[in-house]
Amino acid sequence: MKNNESSLTSLISAFSRAYHSKFDEPKIFDDFITVDLITEQEFATIRENMINGIEFFNKEIEEKFQNEPNEILKWITQVQLSPTPLARAAYCENVVRNEIELGVQQYVILGAGLDTFCFRYPQLNEHIEIFEVDYPTTQDFKKKRLTDAHYQFPKNLHFISMDFSKKFNNHTLIEKGFNPNKKTFISLLGVSYYLTKDEFANFLIELFANVPLGSSIVFDYADEFLFEEKGRSNRVQNMVRMALASGEPMKSCFSYEEMEKLLEDAGLLIYEHLSPDLIQNQFFRNRTDYLSAFETIHYIHAVRK
């Protein structure tokens, strides 16, 4: 990701969460605070851009709902944009809340974007230090939006400016108060696809070099069918195409056996693995709208052994 594009990327992701919070029922992941971080004009602009871009996603839907722009937006958001960000966030936060009960004292959010965890769980602020790692431009953008919406920054929230996809630096975290001797939980959502296999493997080794046993990570990854699977309404193929067009191509996909070996080499043991079928059953079961688990995308909770 280029620095000058990072805020826009975060804004699109936030749009999908805000849309879900405002319009979808039942909720998979209710990021109600994100609604306050997007202006009405930005929401309207993104809405119009999505509706006008329906031909890229699905020409049949364009024809079917040519006089129903709200239905077009619902289709694009629920089919293409929202499923993975919503379900992986819900899964990650289920895990982190449980880990806090089990003694985790630090939460590192890599690629935090417009994450709002600490603002949605103020009752946890006395129990955990939160370190958000992202591009400086993205963090400046977030700070301004929080300030404009009159949110107070809690003392346990620390911003770490870093392009961690190129070189992760533990020393930068430590300078901001991170304690390498305390049990830590790490989230790495929406990142693994954009690193090569070697880059991802080395990144995990570096990441867990200075945290104690019992520390863990949640991340999502694409399986070995990423570049073959078209998905519902070609959405997997569209995802790959959009990433390539944005200048940020998807570089890696893994079989379960490859991922297991990669994690073992980094000193990590898979504690839980959710396949697309399991994600569907856990987060999308019995829905009557367009939302469903994304094909080829898996979630893993791995623990340093």
Q: Which helix (H) or strand (E) holds 65?
A: none
Q: What pLDDT score does 56 carry? A: 93
Q: Which of 81, 97, 130 is the last residue of a domain?
A: 81
Mean pLDDT along residues 62-89? 97
DSSP string, 99-110: HHHTT--EEEEE
Q: Are residues 13 and 143 in the same domain?
A: no
Q: Which helix (H) or strand (E) holds 126?
A: none
DSSP string, 218-263: EEEEEBTTTTT---GGGHHHHHHHHHHHTT------B-HHHHHHHH
- What is the tens place of the pLDDT at every residue in 8-45? 778 888 999 999 999 999 999 999 999 999 999 999 99
User: For the chain, what is the domain count?
Assistant: 2
Beta strands 216-222 and 184-188 are parallel
Q: Looking at the predicted structure, is the pLDDT value of residue 142 above 70?
A: yes
Q: Does residue 180 have a cis bond before it (omega within 30 degrees)?
A: no
Q: Are residues 88 and 67 in the same domain?
A: no
Q: Are residues 281 and 212 in the same domain?
A: yes
The boundaries of the domain holding residue 266 are 83-304
- What is the tens place of the pLDDT at every residue in 65-78? 999 999 999 999 99
Mean pLDDT along residues 225-239? 96
Which range has the worst mean pLDDT, 162-171, 220-229, 294-303? 162-171
Alpha helices in 102-232 (DSSP H): 117-120, 136-148, 170-175, 197-207
Q: Looking at the predicted structure, is the pLDDT value of residue 246 above 70?
A: yes
The residues with which 134 forms a beta bridge, in sequence order, are 161
DSSP class of residue 290? S
CB 1 within 8 A of CB 243: no
Does the model's pTM come out above 0.85? yes
Q: Which of 61, 81, 101 is the last residue of a domain?
A: 81
Mean pLDDT along residues 254-282? 98
Q: Are residues 139 and 248 in the same domain?
A: yes
Mean pLDDT along residues 149-168? 89
Mean pLDDT along residues 263-277? 98
CATH number at residue 190: 3.40.50.150
Mean pLDDT along residues 47-54? 96
Q: What pLDDT score does 286 carry? A: 95
Region of 18 on the Ramachandran plot (φ > 0 left; ψ -120 to 50 alpha; else beta): alpha
CB 71 within 8 A of CB 51: no
Region of 217 on the Ramachandran plot (φ > 0 left; ψ -120 to 50 alpha; else beta): beta
* Distance, CA of 47 to CA of 147 (rounded, Å): 24
Q: Are residues 121 and 55 in the same domain?
A: no
Q: Are residues 125 and 72 in the same domain?
A: no
- Full strand arrangement of the beta sheet holding 216-222: 157-161, 129-134, 106-110, 184-188, 216-222, 297-304, 268-274
Phi first, then psi: give them for residue 272, nearest 5 degrees.
-150, 140
Q: Looking at the predicted structure, is the pLDDT value of residue 172 above 90?
A: no
Mean pLDDT along residues 275-288? 97
Q: What pLDDT score does 1 carry? A: 46
Q: Are residues 47 and 171 in the same domain?
A: no
Residue 271 CB partners (closer than 8 Å, separation 6+): 216, 301, 302, 303
Query: Could you tell me the two tokens for 116?
Result: 């709002």
Q: What pLDDT score does 33 carry? A: 96
Q: Looking at the predicted structure, is the pLDDT value of residue 7 above 80?
A: no
Q: Which of 64, 81, 98 is the last residue of a domain?
A: 81
Q: Are residues 73 and 103 in the same domain?
A: no
* Distance, CA of 174 to CA of 68 (rounded, Å): 52
Q: Are residues 281 and 152 in the same domain?
A: yes
CB 115 within 8 A of CB 57: no
The residues with which 129 forms a beta bridge, in sequence order, are 106
Q: Are residues 105 and 162 in the same domain?
A: yes
Mean pLDDT along residues 46-56? 95
CA distance from start to end of the chain: 32
Q: Are residues 147 and 64 in the same domain?
A: no
Mean pLDDT along residues 139-148? 94
Which residue matches tokens 């806090």? 100
Q: Are residues 88 and 68 in the same domain?
A: no
Mean pLDDT along residues 287-303? 98
